[in-house]
A and B are shown apart, each in its own frame.
Chain A
């Protein structure tokens, strides 16, 4: 019951007029960010981090996380109404959401999506509430080798469980690690990889990289496709909303299964995008009767949305308890935490209970606010996409560059945004995943420090990573996540090939 008391304490912190206002403002901002192409959750959060320096950390994290929830809701809106996923994690929602909306049931499709999203988020937060105390106690046993093992596990999970080709994920990861090591090395104090450029002395800010990769990169993809948004009318009929809510209990099996998938993918670093695809795939293969998927099946909306949001909210747990974010947005938020002077990890629970439990409590409240707000404002936000791209496009560009400049008032960063914009476009066109690059940039220093300290402890023997049951267990799980998924798929491919030959 200890967690319950802490949660009640958290509600006391989260429910103040100021914080409620931040939640409403954050969710609305998130909706804008999620609806507009070029502004996704990771770079929406990056753009706002410089604005949060004026707030105390608890208010700041409530604002940023509310933006995240808003962006997730906004991403589903455009998936359903325009067949344009506002977020990578809402791609799977387009498969059945758009057909249902086109057949004149846009209210039903949107309500299904938002209610499932809200339910998924709720499941995720409940899991966080239950596990938070346990996870932080567990993490207190960690020393440097264990931390390195956890980082290894995070990287391995991306390579093994991601939907992209493993070697492309590895390229993305390694590039992020290299970029993170540019500048002053905190362990040895030497200047690394600047090649004589003074602008690189301070290192490359991951916020600037995120703004380039996700902001400009996504805009370039939009431009290439020719910018014709063919939308479905987006009026919300209140009677349809209630009728849809009444039909929700019918999909209880899909809800529970998708929630479980989301929770698993959120806690292990699979991320919301992989969770939504996996959940959609499993819902499709386990459905027995009814219209085929892809034609507007309700389960085709329920499954990805539930998984997306439960993974999104569960991603906060490893970020807070271990300092290992499992989604790009969580990685950016963790960067924010470090900028505000907080160290994510088990000590955070002990030293900053107000911050941690305020955040967890705010997740209940702001998701509730999110569902209500999004239903009320969807027509308005969908109208944003009717603004011609020739006006909204340059504005998004300008916002991205302004945001990058405010990170450290460096003009050099403007060039970085441009370069990483091109990289982001190229990578997403060629199916190189972007999230591992961001994760590696945020974790690079910590992983290297943990490795360095372990090596000092062990006099340079790699054996320290297998020296006790805890660290070897984590390493073993990491190696299994790295190797098993591909072995399984290779095995099933071989088995399938036999009858043909």
Chain B
């Protein structure tokens, strides 16, 4: 299936509109009116939310008008099958990377991620890929923790190696 630009425009306009709606709802809970001391806490977000909803509606209508003007002409695809597959794989890997990083820490996460990508996607031999990944993690450690003394996210494995 190919996603057309039209669909992407619609989806984005609806999403930004919903964000505006969330702002308006959140602001009404706080109160968006006036008191003697000036506007209430929700005043600014409330009106920004309204503007966001309005602009999103405009974009939605503009997308529809453009879609209709295009008529039966084939529209520009937003993502064809190839691009969608490439993006899908990349985003899935990103997601796994984030989850692994949150459970095992950034060093293990980035080592595994780089190794996997070089090995499975790049076609490098596993030892070389693993070396690249591990080398990167060591470089991270040296730059952040050794030189700048900024602690990075660690998991359950680093303490076993004596790194805190």
Residues of A participating in the B interface, judged by any CB pair closer than 8 Å: 50-51, 54, 165, 167-168, 170-171, 174-175, 177-178, 181, 185, 187-188, 190, 192-193, 195, 216, 219-220, 223-226, 388, 390-391, 393-395, 397-398, 401-402, 405-406, 409, 411, 414-415, 418, 421-422, 426-427, 429-430, 432, 448, 451-452, 455-456, 460
Contacts and interface: CB of A to CB of B under 8 A. Distances in A.
B2 interface: no
Taking each of A177, A178, A422, A432, which has the highest tally of chain B beta carbons within 10 Å of its own beta carbon?
A178
Given A402-B144, A406-B144, A430 B12 contact: yes
B117 A391 contact: yes
Contacts of B144: 402, 406
Interface in B94-139: 94-95, 97-98, 101-102, 106, 109-110, 113-114, 117-118, 121-124, 132, 136
B113 A394 contact: yes
A452 B106 contact: no
A501 B117 CA distance: 58
A72 to B, nearest CB: 24
A190 B43 CA distance: 12
A175 B19 CA distance: 8
Contacts of A188: 40-41
A430 B9 contact: yes
Contacts of A226: 82-83, 86
Given A193-B27, A223-B87, A452-B39, 5 more contacts: A51-B148, A174-B48, A181-B44, A192-B30, A402-B106
Nearest to B99: A414
B108 to A, nearest CB: 11
A414 B102 contact: yes
Interface string B54-93: 0110110010000000000000001100110011001101
A86 B120 CA distance: 27
Contacts, number: 166
Given A192-B41, A390-B122, A406-B144, A174 B101 contact: no
Interface string B142-156: 001000111111000
B39 A178 contact: no
Nearest to A193: B26
Contacts of B106: 398, 401-402, 405
Given A394-B117, A398-B140, A165 B26 contact: no
Given A178-B45, A220-B90, A397 B30 contact: no
Interface of B: 5, 8-9, 12, 16, 19-20, 22-23, 26-27, 30, 34, 37-42, 44-45, 48-49, 51-52, 55-56, 58-59, 62, 78-79, 82-83, 86-87, 90-91, 93-95, 97-98, 101-102, 106, 109-110, 113-114, 117-118, 121-124, 132, 136, 140, 144, 148-153
Contact of B117 (A174, A177, A190, A390): A390
Given A175-B19, A460-B38, A223 B45 contact: no
A192 B153 contact: no
Given A171-B56, A411-B153, A426 B8 contact: yes
A277 B136 CA distance: 38
25 contacts: A170-B51, A177-B45, A177-B48, A178-B19, A178-B45, A181-B23, A188-B41, A190-B30, A192-B42, A193-B45, A220-B91, A224-B79, A388-B122, A390-B124, A398-B97, A398-B109, A398-B140, A401-B97, A401-B110, A426-B12, A427-B12, A430-B5, A430-B9, A451-B39, A456-B38
Contacts of A452: 38-39, 44
B98 A174 contact: no
A50 B23 CA distance: 30
Contact of A220 (B44, B87, B109, B110): B87
A428 to B, nearest CB: 11
A418 B150 CA distance: 22
B15 to A, nearest CB: 8
A96 to B, nearest CB: 26
B42 A390 contact: no
A397 B148 contact: no
B8 A429 contact: yes
A401 B140 CA distance: 12
B63 to A, nearest CB: 9
B122 A391 contact: yes
Contacts of A50: 150
A298 to B, nearest CB: 34
Nearest to B148: A51
A474 B38 CA distance: 23
B101 A414 contact: yes
Taking each of B48, B82, B132, which has the highest tally of chain A beta carbons within 10 Å of its own beta carbon?
B48
Q: 10 closest Cβ contacts across the A-B interface?
A: A390-B122, A398-B110, A174-B52, A193-B26, A188-B41, A190-B41, A390-B121, A170-B55, A394-B117, A167-B58
B19 to A, nearest CB: 6
A391 B9 CA distance: 33
Contacts of B82: 226
A446 B107 CA distance: 38
Contact of B22 (A193, A388, A456): A193
A432 B132 CA distance: 37
